[in-house]
Amino acid sequence: MIRPLFAVSLVLLAACGPQPAATEPQLAPRSAPSGLDLVQLTIHSGTRRHAFIVEVARTEAQQAQGLMNRRTLSPDAGMLFPFDPPRPASFWMRDTLIPLDLIFIRPDGTIASIVTGVPMSEAQMAIDEPLTAVLEIPGGRAAQLGIGPGDRVTWSD
């Protein structure tokens, strides 16, 4: 009876000894293959929170390119177009191959409007009030998640 107890004690002592160093956790890349910065963005819809990792189109050239010629966009990805200072915005979908929801964001972080853009269309989608940003996510995703006007958008930058 003493012998099995001794063996168990040795195993427990060995487990308490020095352990190999843990590897550093892999951090998510801070930039996308496009070269744009990646940030975490959250849409607060009532008690629900919807997390996205989005590319940030900061410059005029980056904003002009947007998501044109992309063939796919994962469900929790998108592109953010920040404006400083806030201003009205107008978008179209020329050379955009996938449907997108355009979420127009006021300076207080609330959603002013959501419009679903039709691929390859030159129809203007515009909001004539000051906006702090426009967020593009996969077409139909806002309705699927129950996101609507008045919901709040926050992001780290």
- Cα–Cα distance for residue pair 93/103, rounded to 1 Å: 14
Contact assessment for residue 30 and residue 37, using Cβ atoms and an 8 Å cutoff:
yes
- Say which residues have a Cβ less than 8 Å from residue 36's Cβ, sequence separation at least 6: 55, 56, 57, 58, 62, 79
d(CA 127, CA 90): 7
What pTM does this model have? 0.81
Query: Burial, 110: exposed, middle or buried (Cβ in 10 Å; 0-12, 13-18, 19+)?
Result: middle
Tell me the pLDDT of the chain (157 aa) as tens digits: 455 444 444 444 444 444 444 444 444 568 898 999 999 999 999 999 999 999 999 999 999 999 999 999 999 999 999 999 999 999 999 999 999 999 999 999 999 999 999 999 999 999 999 999 999 999 999 999 999 999 999 998 8
Q: For residues 58 and 111, give the distance between their C-alpha atoms in angstroms, rounded to a whole number.
A: 20
Total Cβ atoms within 10 A of residue 157: 10
Domains, the chain: 28-155 (2.60.120.1140)
